[in-house]
């Protein structure tokens, strides 16, 4: 890969593979995401979507190259990738149910050295998700599913992500909560954050993203402009019910 190509691509994944035993969940895929862009990965269950995110964040062993801000981070630990600004909000929220909302948020900032600004940024996420301010002293496990998803995203934002990896953020949510989550994702991108989104609601994901990749059996079968893919006959038939 040429140096100028790396400079143009904020995130560049090259020949990425993930294996679980003898099963190859992700099979030598390559794609790039521009700075400040929302990119989405759609596909059926078991297509390799979550494995791709976990490989980028360092939570799954992989082969291939992962370039971020011009540096190959493929050999870095998950902790080092967090320090470089790669933050994953996992599927299933995985908040700390016995801790309060505020305690969960503060844990999101555990790796930061600039502790003086944490309170200000907690206020900012409260502005994004006012319900969390109302529930700040409530145990995370007592929140509704939508509120827990808001907390999971807010906790990720406290780590000051440069690249935010969102794994199925609308899964299991009511339409009202899902719409709120997608609105916040658009707002975050408008503020300059780079977002790679895995989402089972393909219609909503394609609507808010600029670029999309379709994964089938661990391989990218289609990729391109999200709006064009939303009108592609195959995508409409397989993912959009059209």
Instruction: List pLDDT tens digits, range 99-115.
Output: 999 999 999 888 777 77
| Residue ranges making up the domain that contains 36 | 1-82+204-242
Q: What is the pTM of this model?
A: 0.91
Confidence of residue 8 (pLDDT cuts 50, 70, 90): low
**Residue 99 belongs to a domain:** no
- Average confidence (pLDDT) over 215-221: 95
**Residue 72 belongs to a domain:** yes
pLDDT value of position 140: 94
**CB contact at 8 A, 84 and 55:** no
Residue 116 in 3-state DSSP?
A: helix
**Residue 191 belongs to a domain:** no
What is the average pLDDT score of the chain?
A: 91
Instruction: State what percent of residues in the chain have pLDDT above 90.
Output: 78
Number of domains in the chain: 1
**Residue 54 belongs to a domain:** yes
Residue 234 vs residues 47, 104, 206, 231: alpha-carbon distances, Å: 16, 42, 14, 9
- Average confidence (pLDDT) over 196-204: 92
The answer on pLDDT for 1 being more than 80 is no
pLDDT value of position 47: 93
Can you tell me the distance from the alpha carbon of 91 to that of 97, in angstroms, rounded to the nearest whole number?
15
**Residue 74 belongs to a domain:** yes
The answer on pLDDT for 4 being more than 90 is no
What is the biggest distance separating any 2 CA atoms in the chain, rounded to whole angstroms?
52
**Residue 147 belongs to a domain:** no
Pick the closest to residue 166 from 182, 179, 145, 190 (CA basis). 182
Place of tokens 């940024």: 121
**16-75: pLDDT as tens digits:** 999 998 899 999 999 999 999 999 999 988 999 999 999 999 999 999 999 999 999 999
**Residue 18 belongs to a domain:** yes
CATH number of the domain to which 15 belongs? 3.40.50.300
**92-149: pLDDT as tens digits:** 778 999 999 999 999 988 877 777 788 899 999 999 999 999 999 999 999 999 999 9
Paired tokens of 159: 């780590």
How crowded is residue 210: how many other Cβ atoms within 10 Å of its Cβ?
Answer: 17
Paired tokens of 148: 């827990």
Pick the closest to residue 99 from 137, 149, 49, 156 (CA basis). 137
The answer on pLDDT for 6 being more than 50 is no
**Residue 43 belongs to a domain:** yes
Cβ-proximal residues to 118 (8 Å cutoff; 6+ apart), any chain? 106, 109, 112, 158
Cβ-proximal residues to 7 (8 Å cutoff; 6+ apart), any chain? 70
Query: For the stretch 156-179, what's the b/e string if a residue is b when 16 or more beta carbons lie within 10 angstroms of its beta carbon?
Result: bbbbbbbbbbbbbbbbebeeebbe
Phi, then psi, of 3 in degrees rounded to 5: -60, -40
């Amino acid at each position: 890969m040429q140096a100028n190509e790396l400079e143009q691509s904020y995130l560049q994944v090259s020949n990425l593979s993930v294996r679980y035993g003898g099963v190859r969940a992700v099979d030598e895929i390559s794609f790039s995401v521009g700075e400040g862009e929302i990119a989405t990965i759609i596909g059926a269950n078991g297509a390799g979507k979550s494995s791709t995110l976990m490989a980028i964040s360092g939570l799954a062993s992989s082969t291939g190259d992962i370039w971020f801000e011009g540096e190959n981070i493929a050999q870095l630990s998950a902790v080092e990738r967090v320090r470089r600004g790669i933050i994953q909000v996992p599927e299933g929220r995985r908040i700390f149910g016995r801790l309060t909302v505020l305690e969960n948020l503060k844990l999101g900032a555990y790796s930061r050295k600039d502790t003086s600004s944490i309170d200000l940024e907690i206020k900012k996420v409260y502005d994004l998700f006012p319900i969390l301010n109302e529930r700040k002293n409530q145990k995370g496990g007592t929140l509704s599913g939508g509120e827990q998803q808001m907390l999971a995203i807010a906790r990720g934002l406290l780590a000051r992500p440069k690249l935010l990896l969102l794994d199925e953020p609308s899964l299991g949510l009511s339409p009202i909560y899902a719409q709120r989550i997608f609105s916040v994702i658009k707002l975050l991108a408008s503020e300059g954050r780079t977002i790679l989104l895995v989402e089972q609601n393909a219609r909503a994901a394609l609507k808010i993203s600029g670029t999309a990749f379709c994964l089938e059996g661990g391989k990218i079968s289609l990729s391109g402009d999200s709006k064009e893919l939303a009108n592609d006959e195959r995508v409409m038939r397989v993912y959009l019910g059209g």
